[in-house]
Amino acid sequence: NENFVGHQVLRISAADEAQLQKVKELEDLEHLKLDFWRDPARAGIPIDVRVPFPSVQSVKAFLEYHDISYEIMIEDVQSLLDEEKQQMAAFQARAL
Amino acid sequence: STDTFNYATYHTLDEIYEFMDLLVAEHPQLVSKIQIGNTFEGRPIHVLKFSTGGTNRPAIWIDTGIHSREWVTQASGIWFAKKITKDYRQDDTLRVILDNMDIFLEIVTNPDGFAYTHKTNRMWRKTRSRTPGSLCVGVDPNRNWDAGFGKAGASSNPCSETYHGKFANSEVEVKSIVDFVTKHGKIKAFISIHSYSQLLLYPYGYTSDPAPDKEELDQLAKSAVSALTSLHGTKFKYGSIIDTIYQASGSTIDWTYSQGIKYSFTFELRDTGLRGFLLPASQIIPTAEETWLALLKIMDHTSKHLY
């Protein structure tokens, strides 16, 4: 099972078209391995992106450099996945 | 039995297929299971048919899980299936719908991707087909339909999450539905359910030209959304794909609409609280309940406005 320890999901708010384009530039940088949960659509609509641990710092630095605001939507993806698995296992155990 | 089945937790592909068999066994006069094809990796693709009789009746199609990681949609599909069998005698609206129409429900529209989210990568969205010449796997099954295929609003890069595939209907999971819908010929409403971002969308996605039935679709979406919101207060937006989010080419409902299926809608179900696709299982039932109210509105309108 793929491991997502340290992966974070950022909710980015592009204030205008210029900032939206900046975020789209990120999308094209394949080495960052970004996974857009909600694609950049238009200014004012939240953009959600899962950022692998090795890319977290550089993505945040990029956003801050361009004064693009963001919040951390999910601090650690793996912890939510573990929670989900535990929940399923508990129900399956009960079912058995 | 399906009465003791747990609707408030996520299930594996095997558990969902087992649920389908249970439901058919409990309601043989109402529910049957159809295999419309096999996936790239050879898994059966099953559709539940709900019918109170008659032959070649007009029908409604509902699918969930075309993007495999959107687990709340498959879980909602299971809940819808049970709801239909529970309510079809006592809910007047549903009874009238089923007196005149059949309902087809495909709960796991991307079985290979779904199995992969359980076994290997919970974030997997696409199919699991292989692209010659690329190390990357899978095609976005919601960019692979023959409607504006390959235009802006999809990627030609096999490594992208919105890769449209080598050609329209290249994905057997898509082609199986295309063949079924084409052969059936009397599908009057087609509803494809995704998550997340709380939207009810209608065509078009690949062009900003308004759909000929835009007015009616907009009014119906408005009434469906207000029914949905009335239950738990979940706020939804509605509109055409391109106006409400972005340009998306090769999408399911652009194709179904181009086939003359007027009532073509896509849902993006809830995430009301910063969890995205990892929606807690505790929200499965509230999500399914509110979505059901919107589905009933669309199905009721369809059955009263057959064309």
Q: C-alpha angle with apex B194: B283 to B37, nearest 5 degrees?
A: 120
The pairing of beta strand B237-240 with beta strand A69-74: unpaired
Residues of A in contact with B162 (CB under 8 A): 39
| Chain A residue with minimum CA distance to B197 | A38
Report ipTM (2 d.p.). Answer: 0.94
- Using the Cβ of B285 and the Cβ atoms of chain A, whether some distance falls under 8 Å is answered with no
Per-residue confidence in pLDDT tens, chain B, 307 aa: 999 999 999 999 999 999 999 999 999 999 999 999 999 999 999 999 999 998 889 999 999 999 999 999 999 999 999 999 999 999 999 999 999 999 999 999 999 999 999 999 999 999 999 999 999 999 999 999 999 999 999 999 999 999 999 999 999 999 999 999 999 999 999 999 999 999 999 999 999 999 999 999 999 999 999 999 999 999 999 999 999 999 999 999 999 999 999 999 999 999 987 899 999 999 999 999 999 999 999 999 999 999 9
Residues of A in contact with B121 (CB under 8 A): 1-2
Can you list the pairs that B83-92 forms with residues at least 24 positions away whose Cβ atoms lie under 8 Å? B83/B288, B83/B292, B84/B30, B84/B50, B85/B2, B85/B23, B85/B26, B85/B27, B85/B30, B85/B31, B85/B50, B88/B30, B88/B50, B88/B52
A-contacting residues in B 6-35 (Cβ below 8 Å): 6, 8-11
Give tens-digit pLDDT for A22-40.
999 998 898 999 999 999 9
Q: Would you call B18 a catalytic residue per the annotation? A: no
Pick from B9, B121, B278: CB nearest A80: B278
> For residue B115, what are the contacts with CB-CB under 8 A and spacing of at least 6?
B12, B13, B41, B43
B155: closest CA among A63, A28, A32?
Answer: A28
Strand order across the A35-38 sheet: A35-38, A47-51, A8-13, A69-74
